[in-house]
Amino acid sequence: MALPSSLEIARVASLKPINEVARDMGIAERFLEPHGNGVAKISLDAIGEPAEAPRARYVVVSAITPTPLGEGKTTTTIGLGQAFSHIGKRATVAIRQASMGPTFGIKGGAAGGGFSQVVPFEKVNLHLTGDMHAVAAAHNLLAAMVDNHIHKGNDLGIDPHSITWRRVMDVNDRNLRNIVAGLGGRADGDPRATGFDITAASEVMAILALATSLDDMRARLGRIIVGTTMDGEPVTAEQLKAAGAMTVIMLDALKPNLLQTIENTPVLVHAGPFGNIAHGNSSIVADLIGSGTGDFLITEAGFGADMGAERFFNIKCRASGLQPDAAVLVATVRALKVHSGRHRVAAGRPLPEGLLAESPDDVHAGADNLRKQIENIRLHGVEPVIAINAFPDDHPSEHDAVREIAATMGTRAAVCTHFTDGGKGAVELAEAVAEAVEQPRDFRLLYPDEATLRHKIETVGTKVYGAGSVDYSTGAARGLEAYERMGLGRLPVCIAKTHLSISSDPSLKGAPTGWTLPVREARAAAGAGFVYLISGDMRTMPGLSSHPAAESIDIDENGEVVGLY
């Protein structure tokens, strides 16, 4: 019997009133702002309430290096959260908000799937409470004020060629990647080359995810650097007198969104920074609220442990002060087979027959990636638990192979069937995580604040990625020197690279070593609070495929959404 679609499963789920979900978490109704059925925003006044609540055990879910199809981290995060109720524990889940670009593109939604998903399904994947639009509006207001300042006399002496602040929108549209704005007559502005990024790539989104309070967000927005003067001095949103209005636009967006899973586990859905060029984690304020709401707080970090988890540890935890108690590393048989170098997969295309054939040997051949990602978690003093995310076309012998690999690393492993079985399908994983958090830990950041930016880059490149050396372009070297002079040298680093390899080359599978990490460009996200380095060709505005999901999304004769997945 075929499994119903995620949307069909969500439609028949029995939802609790959202105030009851909050009450079960220990959040008083006075902190809630309802947004229709099944959704509410939570006031930041709920942070630290109730005061006597013990801190939840903090668990981050990451993964081995994924295939283009993804490995099911969000579904595993949600399934694990649900599973704790099956062993007598209370958990809260914290995840990023879905971008509508991928929802209407090829990836689909980002709220889990099957019997491990967040509901209401349509709301969480379409608009939700409008946070994405607030981010876009605040971002584009600053872009308009930059251009207006130049048009009205340019008192700050901004060099138009130095402007890095592009515009954003939450739709995949390759035609807007590079444009010329200001065409027309004098009254239509000053022509210059610019472009659009997707909203998730906005620094405002990264700020939303990393701010710890309203005052902190206001200060961070003011520190945004939009370009430089003719003398090379940074120009900020504060100098343009834009930060105050941006903060006003973002007032409601700063409040986390409360939803639930189909098993009524509470879920905080908030912020959605890009996983390639930003830190790829949900918000700090959601975690601060969630940390007092149960026995476990389960959050997710984007892409593999070399990316989202490294940034979770060194950027998010550095800013929040929260320390993780354990990590979950999601692995799939198909991804390990791909890392053997014997198979190739592509988004939107059927899996090759050879990948589906029973072959524990292929799993063992791709094991270096799993071993390296275990090592990457342990570099930070955190113990990982391997979640073997089972697919119907897997073979038991292949699951056994993953368990054998984990055993050689001294790591717990559990087979999970949460997609088809909900929380009960992740009970073994929940039990393993509950054991892991009781073990001694020694959480540590990978580098200190006072290290130079080059030292931080080279530490991540060699210790996490396995690079043998780092090569800086002339422009990147000059940029790093300038940021050190500006006083930005104490910031952590975020290296923008492919998510399809631990290396910067998406064609290199497994755990390559000895290669050279190229740093083509250095940029300052001074408001978000990190310096990011461009290594490889990063697309910050995706394009649509030949047959995007948008072609299948519609409403039926009853006005219900169909085709969403």
pLDDT in tens, 92-145: 999 999 888 778 877 666 688 999 999 998 898 888 999 999 999 999 999 999
What is the β-pairing status of strands 521-525 and 91-95? unpaired
CA distance 92 to 265: 7
Task: Judge whether 358 and 400 are in contact, CB under 8 Å.
Answer: no
d(CA 149, CA 47): 39
Between 49 and 164, the more confident residue is: 164
More confident residue, 241 or 354: 241
Residues pairing with 518 in the sheet: 471
Encode pLDDT of 465-514 as tens digits.
999 999 999 999 999 999 999 999 999 999 999 999 999 999 999 999 99
**pLDDT value, residue 172:** 92
Element (H, E) at 8: helix 6-11
| The pLDDT of residue 108 | 64
Q: Is the pLDDT of residue 295 over 90?
A: yes
- Report pLDDT for 107: 61
CB atoms within 10 A of CB 87: 13
Confidence category of residue 553, pLDDT binned at 50, 70, 90: confident
List CB contacts of 343: < 8 A, sequence separation 6 or more: 337, 352, 354, 355, 362
User: 282 and 289 in contact (C-beta within 8 Å)?
Assistant: no
Per-residue DSSP letter, 306: I
- Other C-beta atoms closer than 10 Å to the C-beta of 224 total 26
Place of tokens 């559990």: 414
Distance separating alpha carbons of residues 229 and 519, to the nearest angstrom: 25
d(CA 207, CA 219): 10
Long-range contacts of 480-486 (CB under 8 A, 24+ apart): 480/453, 480/454, 480/522, 480/531, 482/232, 483/453, 483/522, 483/524, 483/531, 484/452, 484/453, 486/234, 486/524
| pLDDT range class, residue 1, cuts 50, 70, 90 | low
What is the C-alpha separation between 62 and 301, in angstroms, rounded?
Answer: 5
**Structure tokens belonging to residue 185:** 């007559």
For 214, residues 6+ apart whose C-beta sits below 8 A from its C-beta are: 44, 247, 251, 254
- SS3 category, 112: strand
Going by pLDDT thresholds of 50, 70 and 90, the confidence category of residue 453 is very high
> What distance lies between CA 257 and its chain's CA centroid?
16
- Mean pLDDT along residues 46-61: 89
DSSP assignment of 203-237 equals HHHHHHHH--SHHHHHHHHHH-EEEEBTTS-EEET
Place of tokens 């981010």: 135
pTM, two decimals, is 0.95
The sign of the CA dihedral 386, 274, 279, 33 is negative
The Cα 154–Cα 389 span in angstroms is 56
Q: What is the set of domains in the chain, with CATH numbers?
A: 6-127+257-436 (3.40.50.300), 131-249 (3.30.1510.10), 453-534 (3.10.410.10)
Contact 382, 324 (CB under 8 A): yes
Residue 350 is predicted with a pLDDT of: 82
The secondary structure of 142-185 as a DSSP string is: HHHHHHHHHHTT-TT-B-GGG----EEESS--GGGSSEEES-SS
Per-residue tokens: 509:
């599978």
**Residue 521: in which H helix or E strand, if any?**
strand 521-525
pLDDT at position 395 is 96
The pLDDT value recorded for residue 131 is 97
Average pLDDT over residues 228-251: 97
Dist. CA 275–CA 185, nearest whole Å: 39
Q: How many residues does the chain have?
A: 565
Q: What is the pLDDT of residue 283?
A: 98
Name the β-bridge partners of 330. 63, 387
